[in-house]
Structure 1
Amino acid sequence: MTMARYVTMMALLYSVGILFQGCDSDVKCRDDNGNEVDWYILYKLPNVNGYGLSYLYMDESTNGWKVSTKAINSDSGTLANTLKPLLDFYKRKTEDHGYMLYNDQPPDLYVRPSASFGHSKGVVMLDKQTGVWLSHSTPKFPKYRTNDFWPDSGSVNAQTFMCVTYSYDEFKEIGLQLKYIHAYSYDYDIPKTFHDDLRCVAQRSCYPKEKPWFRVKMLTSMNGRKFSSFAKYTRFGDDLYSGLIVNYFEQNLYVKSWGKMRGPLSSNCSSSIPHHVYNVIEVKFLKNESFSDTVDHSKWCVTPDGGWTCIADMNREKSQMKRGGGAICTENLAVVKAFSSIIESYETCELASSHSDAQDREF
């Protein structure tokens, strides 16, 4: 083989390698093995009995919870595999790649977003073909412009994550949902040729200016799975769950939110709404070990008698009635069963009534 032919062949192999490397780096949700998945849900356990970095995982193929063998901060776990296009972008500024990181508790300790911004946390990454919307409940995640994406404080409490892979076109609607949520963007790079609404949210320069102060949109994943996205702006003025979600599902709703709130809302058993909203107090995982909502910072809700499960941004708390936020919901019986099965205890109507009476007497 002549030197010229050798150089030509090596150049060809190199270009093919780059091509395949680009395919491997497509922006999609990925599991512990780096395989592409249409969607997944993670439930990181609290730092109880040494579980602080352990997590449960589910996707379309698992038919419920699966215990991951990796730590949530692993550089080869589900989150690292999903975030790889972002971490690569930091290094080589991939062309036609966009991202936005948003969090009402950003990694920068000196930044305190105004309460006018939504109580929401998430990652958006996309190219001109596909993208992911990773919604979660973890303060200061992800750390940015570094491969060390997991915050030091992240091991303490339980957290939830939901990733869905969408086509590029669907991010026009996702941008509008984030506009209603009024997400606080703390790092972004959205090319000017990408969707205007998404770019506007990333720049923190747009929000709803007229009624209705909420938006519900059906989103379609790359594999055709339907997800209902709920978003409410601050001027909606009501609880996300009892004021919006329960009215759409028309089923009793069981809500898991943070247990250390200044003004918690009791379970809603009012006769003015046809279906009740119950606060989940305790969940049970692994070896029948239970933990309370005081170490569980996750936000989710489920209709055990229906087919819906939502991974959400918000707590059931008085001050959050006046803040933006949202939820992404899937109608999937395996997911409903997985979440319903971990509910150990919840606030009954009788207990909620006694709490309400005590509050009435106090004030």
Structure 2
Amino acid sequence: MSVILYATQEAASMIRDCFNVALVISLIVHNFTPILALQCKGENNQDVDWFVIYKIPKLPKSENVLIKEGVAYLYMDSSNHKSGWTLSEKDISKNDSIPAYTLSPFYDDKTAIDSLWILYNDQPPNQPARLINGHAKGAIITNGKEGFWLIHSVPNFPPQPNTGEDVLKSKNDKVESGAQAGSKDYPTGGYSYPSSGRTNGQSFLCVSTNEDSFNSIGKQLIYNQIIVYRRNVPNRLTSKVTTLVEAAKQVRVNSPPYYHMVNFYSKSGMKFTSFAKSSKWDKDLYDDFVAPQFNTDLYTETWMNGRGKLPTDCNSTKVMNIKSISLSKAQISFNSTHDHSKWAISANDEYSLVCIGDINRANTQFLRGGGTVCLSSPEVWKGYRDSVEEVEPCPINKKKGVFERIKSWFG
């Protein structure tokens, strides 16, 4: 009988121990908040090495509701780009869109507070637009081991997270007249897409990368003279990504050269080339830097509605303005005057070059910082090249007289 009683007590003790272990595990699981992976995301919230997005302009006559409302987008990423552009069925302003998935670590307080990140925009949300320093927009985040760099063209985007600190305009900042009164209605603390980004086309490039690249990217951001509107710089990372910390603090380049190029690599090893220039360089990024560096003609799609627009340049390597775009996957065409994107491609497939960045082809941009990031991919290049519907031709050389023109016919 005593043997049976002892066995029963042992069994009861084991049951209690198992129950206690299960309870502890349950409490740990219940209270554990996972830190989100810092990587570019795809259409189904999966990790991707990189992506490009073409946000379609608002076209009120379109039968597609998303296009009609200015929230439709096409995308290519590292997993699907061989098929060309894919028209998303999602609304870019919603939390299940590619930008929302990608930017979610900024709005997850536990992840954000433990990461080093920078949000920069010359047209920041809830602050006046800046007219000096960098004409650049983007977001970068790292935990010291991995992270991503998102380059985009959207004003007043993305919203400020709950964590981090605001970086307000300095006394020396020159701001856009009337901008202060009309820029304080954007929500904070979570993902949203601004009304200011709906009317025109917009461009995005996201690159997932690792610890080896962040100081190189930080140096480019310093040359670009980024205007930081919110940042988070944990003490534990200040000695690991020192140059990126300097970019977060808006350090500027004060001695020549005032331009810089660097190669960096995605997590899976894809090569990207970043071009950056300071306002002190006083030249055009595409004519004087990108095209000569690759020794290739370029087609460029940048904002055509501002002051000082540069004409197509055919003096050496040609840099030709795109006049209209056709996106067959979305069954639409539109003029470049409805496109706020900043992209350029090689005119032929020798390099299969695609560059997405910050700055426009305008003489007013000579005195602004800004850059572009280029990749080489035949499939991505074809997606952009096929969208080029009309290009501004080379200017007629007005210096030639009648005699010279007649003579050239027989030369």
TM-score (norm 1): 0.90
Alpha-carbon separation, structure 1, partners of 2:335 and 2:100 = 28
- Matched with 2:72 is 54
Other structure's SS at 1:193 match: helix
CA contact (8 A) 1:96 1:128 kept: no
The correspondence of residues 1-363 of structure 1 with structure 2, limited to 5 A, is 2-12=15-25, 15=28, 21-22=34-35, 25-48=36-59, 49=62, 50=65, 51=67, 52-62=70-80, 63=82, 64-89=84-109, 92=110, 94=112, 96-109=114-127, 111-115=128-132, 117-145=133-161, 146-194=189-237, 195-204=241-250, 206-270=251-315, 273=316, 275-286=317-328, 288-305=331-348, 306=350, 307-350=352-395
Shift of 1:166: 0.5
SS of equivalent to 1:339: helix
Paired AA for residue 43 in structure 1:
Y
- 1:177–1:36 distance in 2 versus 1, CA, 3 Å: same
Report the alpha carbon displacement of residue 14 of structure 1 after superposing the two structures with TM.
5.4
Q: Distance in 1 between matches of 2:337 and 2:138?
A: 22
Kept after mapping to 1: 8 A contact 2:48/2:79: no
Secondary structure of the corresponding residue to residue 42 of structure 2: coil
Give the distance between the partners of 1:13 and 1:165, measured in 2 at CA.
34
Q: Which amino acid aligns with 1:250?
A: N
Counterparts of 1:16 and 1:140 in 2: how far apart (Å)? 38
Instruction: Give the Å deviation of 1:301.
Output: 0.2
Tell me if the contact between 1:259 and 1:293 (Cα under 8 Å) persists in the aligned partners.
Answer: yes
Shift of 1:249: 1.1
Do the aligned partners of residues 85 and 265 (structure 1) sit closer, same or farther apart at CA in structure 2, a change above 3 Å counting?
A: same
State the distance in 2 between where 1:243 and 1:218 align: 18
2:45 is paired with a residue of what secondary structure?
Answer: coil
SS at match of 2:235: coil
Tell me the secondary structure at the aligned position of residue 299 of structure 2.
Answer: strand
Letter in 1 for 2:47: E
Give the distance between the partners of 2:229 and 2:122, measured in 1 at CA: 9
Deviations 1:97-154 (A, max 9, x none): 1211000000124x33351x11000001111221110000000010112214311222
Is the 1:192–1:199 contact (alpha carbons within 8 Å) kept by the matching residues of 2?
no
Moved more, 44-53 or 309-318: 44-53
Q: Bigger CA drift: 32-41 or 194-203?
A: 194-203
Range with bigger deviation, 179-188 or 68-77: 68-77
Helix, strand or coil at the partner of 1:132: strand
Tell me which structure has the larger Cα radius of gyration.
2
2:40–2:51: 8 Å Cα contact kept in structure 1?
Answer: yes
Count of residue correspondences? 343
Q: Is the 8 A contact 1:304 1:337 kept in 2?
A: no
Are the counterparts in 2 of residues 304 and 336 from structure 1 also a CA contact under 8 Å?
no
Aligned mates of 2:313, 2:347 — CA distance in 1: 17
Matches of 1:59 and 1:119, distance apart in 2: 26
- Alpha-carbon distance in structure 2 between the residues aligned to 1:19 and 1:268: 58
Contact 2:312 2:395 in 1 (8 A): no
Task: Judge which range, 283-292 or 220-229, deviates more.
Answer: 283-292
Partners of 2:104 and 2:191 within 8 A in 1: no
- The residue type equivalent to 2:247 in the other structure is V
**How far off is 1:3 after superposition?**
4.7
Change (3 A) 1:308 1:300: same
Quote how far apart the aligned CAs of 1:202 are: 1.4
Q: Residues 321 and 18 (structure 1 numbering): CA distance in 2 closer, same or farther, change over 3 Å? A: farther
d(CA) in 1 for partners of 2:382 and 2:31?
43
Stretches of structure 2 that go unaligned for 5 or more consecutive residues are 1-13, 162-188, 399-411
1:20 deviates by: 9.0
Structure 1 gaps of 5+ residues are 355-363
Specify the code of the residue in structure 2 equivalent to 1:83. L
1:294, distance to aligned residue in structure 2 (A): 1.2
- Please say if residues 214 and 236 of structure 1, whose CA atoms lie closer than 8 Å, have aligned partners that are also in contact: yes
Distance 1:229 1:13, change over 3 A: farther
Output one character per residue of 1:78-109: Cα deviation in whole Å (capped at 9) or x when no partner. Answer: 111111111102xx465531211000000124
Cα deviation digits, residues 133-179 of structure 1 (max 9, x gap): 00000000101122143112221111000000010231111110100
For residues 343 and 336 of structure 1, the distance between their equivalents in structure 2, rounded to whole angstroms, comes to: 11
